Amino acid sequence: MKRAPYPIEPDTSGKNYWRSVDEFEKSPSFAEDLTREFPEGAAEPPQGTSRRSFLTIMGASMALGGLAACRRPEEVIVPYARAPEEIVPGRPLFFSTAMPLQGSAIGLVVETHEGRPTKIEGNPRHPESLGSTSTFVQASVLDLYDPDRSQSPQEKGEARTWDEASSFLRKLGDDAKKKNGKGLAVLVEDHRSPTLAAQLDALLKLMPDARVVRYEAFGRDAAEEGAKLAFGKAIVPVYDLGEADVVVSLDADFLLTDGAAVKNARAFTSRRNPENKQKPMNRFYAIESAFSVTGTNADHRMRVQSRKIPAIAFALAQEIASAAKAELPAEIASALGGAPALDPQAAKMVKAIANDVAKRNGAVVILVGRKQPAAVHALVNALHRTIGAVGKTVKFVKPLDEVKGGPAEVAALGKDLQAGAIDTLLVLGGNPVFNAPADVRDAITKAKTLVHVGTHVDETGKAAAWHLNRAHALESWGDTRAEDGTGAIIQPLIAPMYGGKTDAEILEVLLGGTRKGYDLVRASWRGAESLVADFERDFRRALHDGLWKDSAFQAETAELDAAKIGAAIKAQKAVAPKGDLEVVFEPDFHTWDGRYANNGWLQELPDPMGKLTWGNVASLSPATAKGLGVADGDLVTVSANGASVTLPALVQPGQADGTILLTVGQGRSVVGRVGKNIGVETGVLRTSAAFHVADGASITKAGGVAKLARTQEHFLTEGRPLVHEASYVKYQESPQVVPPPKKYLSLFEERKYDQGHAWGMTIDLSACIGCNACSVACQAENNIPIVGAESVGRTREMHWIRIDRYYEGTNLDEPTSVAQPMMCVHCENAPCEEVCPVAATTHSPEGLNEMTYNRCIGTKYCANNCPFKVRRFNYFDYTKDTIEQHKMQMNPDVTVRGRGVMEKCTYCVQRINRAKIAAKAEGRDRLRDGEVVTACQAACPAQAIHFGDLNDKQSEVAKRAALPRGYKLLEELNIRPRTSYLAKIKNPNPELEGA
């Protein structure tokens, strides 16, 4: 049955919102899709035999026995005959721990049920998390229960015991000691562990001729090199975005993939609150090649190829020094002189930024992305010093260690491996055979003795003579230091499921020792006399709190080496671009550098910009795509550095012309059942000399079309944008920036919810960055299954929270963008309830729109009648054959649904009831404000989500819902949603209005 399309009415603000290129261009295929009651193919079963074709990614059932909780140092555990005092069946326990993340470390609080970790939250005491998390942190609990993890040491693919592996390691260490370590190299990740650093120091003392090299596929190597250029020693910049009145990003996705993203998001969005009178809104400028999550939150954004950004940075430094009447050191000023003229748009942006920065008295942060060369990082370090930002918004601290790293060091290691100078390579974590520079990979595989330590037998593990199974961070003892030096203990939440060892434990065996992880960690921190007075007391306190008190590094001081900075600038200016096209490499949103390829939650999570799941693409600007004659899904061949890859194209509004964006991390060849045959490997184009940006590239049509599992056009709102935006100046002049809703008389007396609790939520679009952490947190909390690429293509994804991505503007190449979280808004006059023939969806006395699963007969009438399309029908029984390991992750407080019922957001009713039970036990009738925190609210690094009792007028949610920029979606329908949104407020520079 076809239906007439809704007339698309212009937004009352005069803005032009759209969600895809087809919608913008009003293509015939888009118009046809709008007339369908259901998406094409929605009624058909998956290709193949049945729903079981999906279940191949879940694997066969496996039995596990003898597992129990372990947060104590005992090595042998047995099922308890008498329950420990703290364990009450059905009541979760929470433990502090930590996890390394993106070159820093994040403090966590993990929920456990009878010794099974089921959900991860941020530790509010830890300066890196401040109570929040990210998508990768939320999904890491699923990796713990991955049945494809390696389950024993292996020698050339044959299973071995740890006794055999330990004998091999001891002999390897003894032989290396005899040669003072000559011929031995250790390749480590950016681990952030003081204990592992101490073990590596011990190795180098025993074997001074050995070599330790650090490698991350997306690390901070350029920033570290820039600091060494600027100051002559290894120091690390730490930014406080909460104190910055102006933020400038030079190709830095600092809210998602660059640096300490969780901390940055919290601090940045704390200054995007237009109601804050003490600290007014900051202003944010982004200059980048590809539309990033960070760029979507900019007040002003300019798209330009990454390789052209150094010239803009050099011009910006000159303009800022001139506008602020501050002198750069003579060697730097001289090197900057004679810069080529910028185009008018760039020149206008640079001048406006400089004038704005000059007024701020040092309350400025300029962030440089990993793709930019060390010369730009060094220059910005000098610029921060010149404008007085150091000590206000920027400080420098010592690094965790001074192990050399980066593509150049790995390339040198590769040459020594090829020449035979290194014959033994120990890889501690990571997968360099897959994600190292293409010119280094063969050398790694040809090492005479290659030993790999990892959680999976991956490409490196398969090539290794020995693979040693590594323990997961949730099942091992360890430690971390955050970006600012704050220390934390990693404690096990469960016994090692497959007997894995940590990197520090493996080095201990190599060095001839016998200490276990617990003893190694204690020894590492016992030596920190400056931190502890009573070690046993302070160690217990660190375990409880999740961090060592006052352990952050002190600020470092250093003199600028202006001569070296000037020389680096001159060298960079002499680099001539090749050709018209560049390829930029970014971490894959689903897999990072490939390490999460077997994580189904992440593979099915739509990426924030293109809304792609289960794969990767070559992203092109509309103009570049038009020149090639390609559309979404067309296969293209990208060539660079003597290699080529063929993959689908995706037209991305707002991307720089001439930039081809490729993500690295998909296309794994040795991977578990979930990541198998997903995407295309693009790292073959990435060399040590062109690690982040490769120019001189080419792209051609390859013929053929791939079907993309993309959600951008799913659940369209019939031309009715649900977002509202306004400027900061306008909001100050007149807070009523949202048009008042039309009022309609009801045909009947409506129920009132003025007694007891009235649960509600607010979502601040000014704060929301669109990072998707809430979606994964909801999935982990509510046992939401994945459905696979084929079902996603039929709009059958099961996420209870989706992040709608709107573009705005009349120019396809230069849009702005806004993200809007969308879940069930719990309408008091819910359209879904009116049409359910069996009363499966009803309203509670406290205003929750509830689902009674065993009543639901799957008519899907409620989904048809929902104006927001937030209800999910589980077409197939995705949980029937769930493997035993994955069952251990499931939240016992939430029903595991079978096929044929409708699912949706419940406002985490299980958390509401848990809080009610606790209050009743304390003799309280009402809950305190903030006592119930939903999973999405807890995960949000931007604090965009607030939940609570709307009848409590002093509650945070009630106060925010009453703000003049608050509005409810489609109020004119008289559906009375319980979720309110706060309009997005931007703070544009008047100098650039209309630019």
Residue 737: predicted pLDDT: 85
Pinpoint the alpha helices (H) of 43-161: 52-55, 135-144
SS3 assignment, position 952:
coil
Count other Cβ atoms within 10 Å, centred on residue 818. 23
Task: List all residues 6 or more positions away from 894 whose beta carbon is below 8 Å from its beta carbon.
Answer: 781, 782, 783, 910
CA angle 847, 853, 858 (to 5 degrees): 110
One DSSP character per residue, 874-943 reads --S-TTTT--HHHHHHS-TTS----TT-EE---S-HHHHHHHHHHHHHTT-SSPPTTS---HHHHH-TT-
Topology of the domain comprising 578-705: Barwin-like endoglucanases (2.40.40)
CB 573 within 8 A of CB 314: yes
Q: Which two tokens stand for residue 785?
A: 């299954």
Q: Which residues of the chain have pLDDT under 70?
A: 1-14, 18-20, 22-86, 339, 529-532, 714, 716-721, 994-995
Task: List all residues 6 or more positions away from 162 whose beta carbon is below 8 Å from its beta carbon.
Answer: 152, 153, 499, 501
Residue 257: predicted pLDDT: 93
Pick the CATH number of 154-219+402-545 from 3.40.50.1100, 3.40.449.10, 3.40.190.80, 3.40.50.740: 3.40.50.740
Residue 70: predicted pLDDT: 40
CB 888 within 8 A of CB 63: no
Q: What does the alpha-carbon distance between residue 274 and residue 766 come to, in Å, rounded to a whole number?
A: 8
Q: Which run of H or E residues covers position 581?
A: none
Second-level CATH architecture of 38-46+724-740+759-986: 2-Layer Sandwich (3.30)
pTM: 0.91
Pinpoint the alpha helices (H) of 50-111: 52-55
Q: Which of 990, 805, 987, 940 is nearest to 291 (CA)?
A: 805
Residue 710: predicted pLDDT: 87
CB 291 within 8 A of CB 653: yes
CA angle 671, 677, 679 (to 5 degrees): 105
Residue 879: predicted pLDDT: 81
**Residue 138, phi then psi, degrees to nearest 5:** -60, -40
Q: Which run of H or E residues covers position 291?
A: none
Amino acid at 394: V
One DSSP character per residue, 728-778 reads HHHHHH-S--SPPPPP---SSPPP---SS--EEEEEETTT-----HHHHHH
CA dihedral 87, 92, 94, 98 (to 10 degrees): 110
Q: What does the alpha-carbon distance between residue 305 and residue 287 come to, in Å, rounded to a whole number?
A: 9
Q: What does the alpha-carbon distance between residue 609 and residue 289 come to, in Å, rounded to a whole number?
A: 14
**Residue 187, phi then psi, degrees to nearest 5:** -105, 120
Q: How many CA atoms lie within 13 A of 150 on its CB side?
A: 32
Instruction: Report domain extents, the chain.
Output: 38-46+724-740+759-986, 154-219+402-545, 236-397, 578-705
Topology of the domain comprising 236-397: Dimethylsulfoxide Reductase; domain 2 (3.40.228)
CA angle 646, 652, 653 (to 5 degrees): 155
Q: What does the alpha-carbon distance between residue 316 and residue 304 come to, in Å, rounded to a whole number?
A: 15
CB 337 within 8 A of CB 330: no
Residue 249: predicted pLDDT: 97
CB 328 within 8 A of CB 365: no
Residue 85: predicted pLDDT: 65
**Residue 140, phi then psi, degrees to nearest 5:** -65, -25
Q: Which of 766, 872, 760, 780 is nearest to 820 (CA)?
A: 766
Residue 50: predicted pLDDT: 45
